[in-house]
Structure 1
Amino acid sequence: MKPYKVILSGGGTGGHIYPAIAIAREIEKRYPNTEFLFVGAKDRMEMEKVPKAGYNIEGLWISGIQRKISLENLKFPFKLISSLWKSNKILKRFQPDVVIGTGGFASGPLLKRATSKKIPALIQEQNSYAGITNKLLSKNVQKICVAYDEMHRFFPKDKIIKTGNPVRNDLLTITNKRAEALSIYELSPDKKTLLVIGGSLGARAVNELISKQLDFFTSHEVQILWQTGKLYYEQYKHLASKHVKIMAYIDQMDMAYAAADIIISRAGASSVSELCIVGKATVFIPSPNVAEDHQTKNALAITEKNAAILLRQTELDAKFQTELKNLIQDKERREALGTAIKKLALPDATQDIVDEVEKLLKNNA
């Protein structure tokens, strides 16, 4: 049998890129001779992250429509026409057996052209509130893999498969890594550990909050492992101390999670899925500056099941210290939250998504 050819398209943020890479790795594990091509937006982070993962990528001249009035929006029709034209050329040259979209504006033109050519296609929606690109594509793809219930609000019900979001495999085995993790980060086993993560670029509001609350944490004998994001590291690195470890980016996330007693995080889809796997007491501070306020909706899907705490940015001054003090002092509450969030985990997401891809490949053989 000739090797399969697979195109994966998506990007703009890590939440769209890393699931695509995880899916590619699982397909490669099952079919080692598969030929892959990624398609993204030519000036976004996928152009760096995908080649680093070992895959070829082609970039389209495409970007999303700005929500505020912007001259950039005037370019959008030209970018769309250019991207549809280039997508057509890519498909004609590569001749894929299946096309997979993981969301973000970068996946729109490629999947639009692919479905018009009757190439089998699947999309993966990470969020609890569907993105506009996936909503537009959903009418013409064969399968839609989702991570939350009630997604028939956005997509045709008969196409939906609830799989969850792909997460890195090393997170499945953090249970016995605490002592090793504390040693790696030179943290004390006698103090509670707070892990702060705001995404790979960082979250300004979260960083400002933590910097203002350092005395509060010191007074409660809490040590901090703090990922500032690369945009903010220089601004905050002077605050590092024996009990405050500050990093631009954490490479060994399994170890960071293993060390943590409490986690403060944004509520991007990938982060939420990882935190369900990890099963630790979590405080979500969603970014309000994202399309359709989808991070708040992601967090609500967890907190409505009493599996995490939601603090909106507007509530931080009034509620932060009270909520954190309760968590720090109440071990049973921490354990209850950890148990509840772990029940929502879908650890086999990557395999389940690739099961659906496999069906498309075999049906088209």
Structure 2
Amino acid sequence: MENYKIIVSGGGTGGHIYPAIAIADELKSRFPDAEFLFVGASDRMEMEKVPQAGYDIEGLWISGIQRRLTLKNLMFPLKLLSSLLRSKKIINTFQPDVAIGTGGFASGPLLKVATSKGIPSLIQEQNSYPGITNKWLSKKVNTICVAYENLERFFPKEKIVLTGNPIRKGLLDVSQKQIKGKDAFRLIHSKHTLLVLGGSLGARRINELIEDKLDFFESHNVQLIWQCGKLYYQQFKQYNKLDNVQVHAFLNEMDMAYGAADIIISRAGASSVSELCVVGKPVIFIPSPNVAEDHQTKNAQAIVDKNAAILIKENELDADFDMHFLDVLNSKENQQQLSENIKKLALVNATSDIADEVEKLLKN
């Protein structure tokens, strides 16, 4: 058995953390004797989620650059220097055979040090528009796994491998988990179930929409699993007292939540879109307008163009939401068509394909 040492970095949001964990899980199944170490930002959610998944993690003092002049921005050079020095110490101590980055603040310094020491390195880019960290790293790493075509304008063409985005284990058989999922959330089987996903931190506009529509949902026999995000839980937890509403800061059993759902409302981050293609339930995307190059709208539009989901922009919610929601809710035919079409877009082998690329680096 190969006792490789594999270092993984990705975090800040679930969109970076879960792909990193999915890749590590796949490599662990191939190399049971391998040793894994994650590196994250010391004050972000990876410090909690990675140990829950069974992996050790070290934290760096690092954060992103704000779009305006702030004290945090003035501290950035100091944080970057600190993180580079800490990364150097971690790598010298752990001595990895390969380094993997899935985006987020911490992967920049770690992969920068790894590539400078000649350690074979791979980055995984989830979005159609890459983040600043991966653009910065792309010149030095060996392999760049991507989920969208036409990324040659951002990355060296010869390093790009189209794999899709890794998805969490347990999502491939979600269609078998409807009864189990509804039981796990103590839901009424005769009611329609709406799953609301605003990302790990939460989405203010989606939360406001759901709050505004609670009477509307009740009048149409809809019960909710509402993941409002940790930033908003204190504001919305009061609605747990309603019979048809469950408010959660975070959902740990995503396979059960997806299994229970009849309809899903979601942001359109790349990892979410990839998961929802595999899950194969009717989806209404409400993209965040506050992201680089409006890439969430582009992610969602790629699905909508295949008649595989509904897209409502934030500024059109007041006018259009009820109509679109009822079009899906009241038509089994629409539900079935959206489900079938979105499933066709799933890249179910992404995690395995990325692990293949890591394995090539380990064995070269």
Look up the equivalent residue of 1:87 and give its one-letter code: S
Q: 2:118 corresponds to which residue?
A: 118
Q: 1:305 corresponds to which residue?
A: 306
Change (3 A) 1:48 1:186: closer
Change (3 A) 1:40 1:317: same
- The question of whether the paired residues in 2 share the 8 Å contact of 1:197 and 1:265 is answered with yes
**TM-score, length-scaled by structure 2:** 0.94
Look up the equivalent residue of 1:181 and give its one-letter code: G
How far apart, in 2, do the equivalents of 1:184 and 1:43 lie?
31
Change (3 A) 1:97 1:344: same
Q: 1:288 corresponds to which residue?
A: 289
How far apart, in 2, do the equivalents of 1:94 and 1:223 lie?
49
Change (3 A) 1:335 1:69: same
How far apart, in 1, do the equivalents of 2:97 and 2:187 lie?
50
Look up the equivalent residue of 2:187 and give its one-letter code: L
Which aligned pairs between 1:268-283 and structure 2 lie closer than 5 A?
268-283=269-284
Choose 146-155 or 308-317, whichever is displaced more: 146-155
Task: Report the alpha carbon displacement of residue 219 of structure 1 after superposing the two structures with TM.
Answer: 2.4
How far apart, in 2, do the equivalents of 1:210 and 1:242 lie?
15
Choose 97-106 or 110-119, whichever is displaced more: 110-119
Q: 1:267 corresponds to which residue?
A: 268
Q: 1:72 corresponds to which residue?
A: 72
Determine helix, strand or coil for the equivalent of 1:325: helix
Q: 2:94 corresponds to which residue?
A: 94
Which aligned pairs between 1:338-353 and structure 2 lie closer than 5 A?
338-353=339-354
Q: Does 1:195 align with 2:195?
A: yes
Change (3 A) 1:60 1:181: closer
How far apart, in 2, do the equivalents of 1:220 and 1:145 lie?
43
Choose 24-33 or 175-184, whichever is displaced more: 175-184
- The question of whether the paired residues in 1 share the 8 Å contact of 2:196 and 2:266 is answered with yes
Look up the equivalent residue of 1:178 and give its one-letter code: Q
Look up the equivalent residue of 1:116 and give its one-letter code: S
Q: Does 1:43 align with 2:43?
A: yes
Deviations 1:198-254 (A, max 9, x none): 122222211110111122222222222222223323322332322223333222221
How far apart, in 2, do the equivalents of 1:40 and 1:237 lie?
29
Gaps of 5+ in 2: none
Change (3 A) 1:216 1:42: same
Gaps of 5+ in 1: none
- The question of whether the paired residues in 1 share the 8 Å contact of 2:7 and 2:39 is answered with yes
Look up the equivalent residue of 2:299 and give its one-letter code: N
Q: 1:170 corresponds to which residue?
A: 170
Change (3 A) 1:251 1:59: closer
How far apart, in 1, do the equivalents of 2:246 and 2:71 lie?
42
How far apart, in 2, do the equivalents of 1:234 and 1:105 lie?
27
Q: 1:316 corresponds to which residue?
A: 317
Look up the equivalent residue of 1:199 and give its one-letter code: G
How far apart, in 2, do the equivalents of 1:71 and 1:234 lie?
27
How far apart, in 2, do the equivalents of 1:129 and 1:105 lie?
16
How far apart, in 1, do the equivalents of 2:132 and 2:114 lie?
18
Task: Report the alpha carbon displacement of residue 2 of structure 1 after superposing the two structures with TM.
Answer: 6.0
How far apart, in 2, do the equivalents of 1:91 and 1:262 lie?
45
How far apart, in 2, do the equivalents of 1:153 and 1:225 lie?
40
Task: Report the alpha carbon displacement of residue 304 of structure 1 after superposing the two structures with TM.
Answer: 2.4
Q: Does 1:159 align with 2:159?
A: yes
Look up the equivalent residue of 2:88 and give its one-letter code: N
Superposed CA RMSD in Å reads 1.7
Change (3 A) 1:252 1:92: closer
Determine helix, strand or coil for the equivalent of 2:112: helix
Task: Report the alpha carbon displacement of residue 62 of structure 1 after superposing the two structures with TM.
Answer: 1.5
- The question of whether the paired residues in 2 share the 8 Å contact of 1:129 and 1:298 is answered with no
How many residues are aligned here?
A: 363
How far apart, in 1, do the equivalents of 2:179 and 2:42 lie?
42
- The question of whether the paired residues in 1 share the 8 Å contact of 2:13 and 2:201 is answered with no
How far apart, in 2, do the equivalents of 1:6 and 1:15 lie?
20
Q: 2:247 corresponds to which residue?
A: 246
Runs of 4+ in 1 over 4 A off after TM superposition: none
Task: Report the alpha carbon displacement of residue 361 of structure 1 after superposing the two structures with TM.
Answer: 0.5
- The question of whether the paired residues in 2 share the 8 Å contact of 1:276 and 1:345 is answered with yes
Determine helix, strand or coil for the equivalent of 1:171: coil
Determine helix, strand or coil for the equivalent of 1:135: helix
How far apart, in 1, do the equivalents of 2:34 and 2:180 lie?
37
- The question of whether the paired residues in 2 share the 8 Å contact of 1:128 and 1:301 is answered with no
How far apart, in 2, do the equivalents of 1:230 and 1:81 lie?
30
Deviations 1:152-187 (A, max 9, x none): 232122211111111122111122222222233333
Q: 1:146 corresponds to which residue?
A: 146
Look up the equivalent residue of 2:303 and give its one-letter code: I
Look up the equivalent residue of 1:9 and give its one-letter code: S
Look up the equivalent residue of 2:9 and give its one-letter code: S
Change (3 A) 1:2 1:249: closer
Determine helix, strand or coil for the equivalent of 1:100: strand
Q: 1:33 corresponds to which residue?
A: 33
Determine helix, strand or coil for the equivalent of 2:308: coil
Task: Report the alpha carbon displacement of residue 291 of structure 1 after superposing the two structures with TM.
Answer: 3.5
Determine helix, strand or coil for the equivalent of 1:153: coil
How far apart, in 1, do the equivalents of 2:339 and 2:144 lie?
29
Deviations 1:95-152 (A, max 9, x none): 2111101101211111112112221110001112111110111111111111122222
Percent of pairs with identical residues: 66
**TM-score, length-scaled by structure 1:** 0.94
